Amino acid sequence: MTTEAKSSPRERLLEAAATLTYRDGVGIGVDALCKAAGVSKRSMYQLFESKDELLAASLEERASAYVLTLLPAADDNRSPRERILHVFDQLASQAGAPDFQGCRYLAVQIELKNQSHPASLVAHRVKENLTAFFRAEAEQGGASDPGLLARQLILVFDGASARAGIKADTPTGLVAPTVAALLDVADMR
């Protein structure tokens, strides 16, 4: 028996939404989502108020895993500078995967345009949390302007992720020196 056969209709819908929207974008239709999940439309609407709610739930479900793959453990002994560089090393590692299409949370925000869309709200919160991580580490590391440095780092992160996602560039060998230069200018330890 496969894992898919054991999973609930809700789990299958969340997985289908994650897979199809990452690959094809948020414009994917309800029919395609239901077909991929092996769930009727009626069942989908019993589980989720709308496709928008399904997309938001799918993003929310993956948020913790996304953060775990990027951020260092809270109790590691690295310096704030090394902790920030770790995030960009993780991005470079992820970008090397053949199916990498950039940051799913950035893509959702770009595609949806509507900042009050449930999925956009989830994506915005995830990206704000990453910016907050950068800001906190910048403060710990004695950066001259932690808020500005956090904004610069998220700009580099999103830009590198987007360019790698469209196969226009690779962050390997490019992002780490860029981030290091920003950290140097900000007097980061």
| Tens digits of residue pLDDT in 56-88 | 999 999 999 999 999 999 888 999 999 999 999
Same structural domain for residues 15 and 64? no
Taking the model in full, what pTM does it have? 0.91
CA distances from 57 to 173, 179, 187 (A): 35, 32, 40
pLDDT at 6: 67
- When pLDDT is cut at 50, 70 and 90, the band that residue 5 belongs to is low
- Let me know the angle formed at the C-alpha of 53 by 47 and 59, rounded to the nearest 5 degrees: 110
The number of domains in the chain is 2
Contact of 66 with 108, CB cutoff 8 Å: no
What does the alpha-carbon distance between residue 60 and residue 68 come to, in Å, rounded to a whole number?
A: 14
* Helix, strand, coil fractions of the chain, as percent rounded to 5: 70, 0, 30
pLDDT digits (tens, 9 = 90+) for 124-169: 999 999 999 999 999 999 999 999 999 999 999 999 999 999 999 8
pLDDT in tens, 92-125: 999 999 999 999 999 999 999 899 999 999 999 9
Whole-angstrom Cα distance, residue 77 to residue 13? Answer: 40
- Within this chain, do residues 94 and 3 fall inside the same structural domain, yes or no? no
Q: Which domain holds residue 146?
A: 56-185
- Residues 121 and 32 occupy one common structural domain: no
Q: What is the pLDDT of residues 6-26, one digit of tens each?
A: 699 999 999 999 999 999 999
Same domain, 76 and 145: yes
Say whether pLDDT at 2 is over 60: no
- Model pLDDT, residue 4: 46
| 39 and 64 within one domain | no
Tell me, what CATH number does 151's domain have? Answer: 1.10.357.10
Over residues 89-94, the mean pLDDT reads: 95
